[in-house]
Amino acid sequence: MLGVGAWLALGGAQAAPSGIEVSTATAQVTSNSAIKKHAGKAGFYLRLAKTEEMNNPDFYIAHPLVDAVVVTYGWADIEPSPGQYDFAQIDRMTALCRKHGKGVVLSFSTQGQKPDKQPTPEWLYDKGVKRIQFNGGGVAKGKPITVPKSWEPAFLREYETFIRKIGQRYNGQEGVWYVMPGFGHVGNINAQPSGGGCQPFLAEGWTPDIWKDYCRKVASLYTAAFPDTPLIVKSANHLLRDKAHDFYAQEADDILVDLGKQGISAISFGLEPDIALIRKNRVLDRFVRLEPYAMNGRIRAGIGDDWPLWVSEERRKKARFLAGRDENGLERELQYAFGGVEGLPPTHVSVMYVLHPEIEASHPDKGAEQNKRLFQILEAARNRLKAEDPIAQQIKAGRNAASPPPEGAS
């Protein structure tokens, strides 16, 4: 009977081996070349600010547990005027990551929550794109913000030109592990997390079906522009803060799974040290649906949160909702991330999305001030990510299946 690796090596030309479930959505078995696009990319992905916003980016990038950095660039950063592109800041970051032997994930954003610095180019509104205005949450702290009505043709027309341009420059570039398409809020699949944005979005005709269609179109544009660089997306488990519709959590999962079918990897947010919240928010449910694509090497599955997984005692005292994010809480979070404990489903994750507090505090360069226990906790999780990486296992199985048995073997 064929093993999984041999079956994949044959491109799925024969019937699937006994015990392997293949859904109709994954009937096209992942080719070896597609799997190799993901090879060697398991590990810790650090969300990092742009080099221009940091005092010492080398410090974070050089951390021995960091495998890649995720850096988000606003559309306005790259195209401040129509047709005028500035790639210098991206080039500096990619060069810095190459110097340290780390991968980079180029993330793009078209809208955000900062009242004084939106990633949306102001000139876009002169092209007929409609504004949606409301009082924002989070960093906006109730101040008025403006975001584009991105699902309209006027927006997509200009966005397509921008996507093609960045694809011409960075598709297949050495060291660029993934490209993270910009969909909604700070590039995420979520349309708008702010409570103040819900009604204005609905008033402009937003529906989950319209948003799903928009996400499919954007994904297709990025896929066409980056044929040689795989895509990865990030998402919380909601689309719009509408309590009457459970924040459209199911629809958010549907989009993520739909993109997974297309070979687009996913990082899911919502990791918590409180298992009750993990269960309440169904954080791991989407991994069950993504499992076929993660296990056959079509995508990478990742997990993390848009808040740090660990924060200092001083910060925990200032923010009650961060109270559990100490070393013990981090150990629980990382256990839950893999699933398979306390009734949680296995996740088959191979990417852990981390933020700078846990990386800074655990850095060996801090000497006597290094939080060694934090380092050990993170190191153990990273080792497990790499040891259980489904893609590495696929490649190994395929290689073993293609090799003749040792002489004398039965």
DSSP of 253-319, one letter per residue? Answer: HHHHHHHHHTT-EEEEE---S-HHHHHHTTTTHHHHHHHHHHHTTS--EEEE-SS-S---HHHHHH-
The rounded mean pLDDT for the chain is 88
User: Would residue 410 count as lying in a domain?
Assistant: no
Give the domain extent around 329: 4-402
Confidence category of residue 180, pLDDT binned at 50, 70, 90? very high
User: Would residue 275 count as lying in a domain?
Assistant: yes
Confidence category of residue 53, pLDDT binned at 50, 70, 90? low
The predicted model scores a pTM of 0.89
Residues 6+ apart with CB under 8 A from 88: none
Confidence category of residue 203, pLDDT binned at 50, 70, 90? very high
Confidence category of residue 52, pLDDT binned at 50, 70, 90? low
Among residues 303, 308, 309, which one has the least CA distance to residue 290? 303
CATH code of 107's domain: 3.20.20.80
Confidence category of residue 27, pLDDT binned at 50, 70, 90? very low
Q: Residue 52 to residues 77, 100, 199: CA-CA distances in angstroms? A: 11, 18, 36
**356-379: average pLDDT:** 96
358/31 Cα distance (integer angstroms): 37
**314-325: average pLDDT:** 92
pLDDT at 400: 54
Segment holding 50, helix H or strand E: none
104-120 pLDDT, tens digit each: 999 999 998 887 888 99
Strand 43-48 and strand 66-74: pairing? parallel
Query: Are the C-beta atoms of residues 160 and 154 closer than 8 Å to each other?
Result: no
Segment holding 131, helix H or strand E: strand 131-135
130/118 Cα distance (integer angstroms): 15
Q: 3-state DSSP call for residue 379?
A: helix
User: Would residue 409 count as lying in a domain?
Assistant: no
Q: Residue 220 to residues 256, 259, 265: CA-CA distances in angstroms? A: 14, 10, 14
**135-145: average pLDDT:** 81
Number of domains in the chain: 1
User: Would residue 407 count as lying in a domain?
Assistant: no
**190-206: average pLDDT:** 93
288-312 pLDDT, tens digit each: 999 999 998 999 999 999 999 999 9
User: Would residue 36 count as lying in a domain?
Assistant: yes
User: Would residue 408 count as lying in a domain?
Assistant: no
Encoding tokens for residue 187? 């590039």
User: Would residue 233 count as lying in a domain?
Assistant: yes
